[in-house]
Amino acid sequence: MTDFADHIGLRVRFYDPLGTRHGFPTFPYQMAPTGLATRRQLRAAGLRPGGHDPVAQILWRRGKRIAYLYRLDLAAPKRVATPAQRQAIAKALRARRTCRDCGQVKPYYIPRRYGCCLDCHEGDS
């Protein structure tokens, strides 16, 4: 293992900051260096990767789970939807709640497998 793993007295399976073993700088769960964040952490901070590629990764659960890390200093602010985009989204979501058969707007999304609201589907049976 590395000097770091020997220093803390643990056998750290996914600690590979130089990327020699995993081909990409790799850190175990909750051991990422400061200045790096996952997409979810960026989103919570109101940021986005800004078109930059990940610079490291976190592995956990025997290497079956992975999260890519992005540099905070290269992150850009999240984009905000314009009023026209919000209106288009609202229109599309309303269409997903409108029954094709009866034309009613339901408080739930119309199941795609039926193509109609649950009331119309039960009436067909």
Q: What is the pLDDT of residue 91?
A: 97
The pTM score is 0.61
pLDDT per 10-residue tile (average), the chain, 125 residues = 47 68 80 90 94 88 81 93 97 96 95 92 75
- Every domain of the chain and the residues it spans: 3-77, 83-124
CA nearest to 57, candidates 22, 8, 10: 22
Q: What is the pLDDT of residue 19?
A: 66
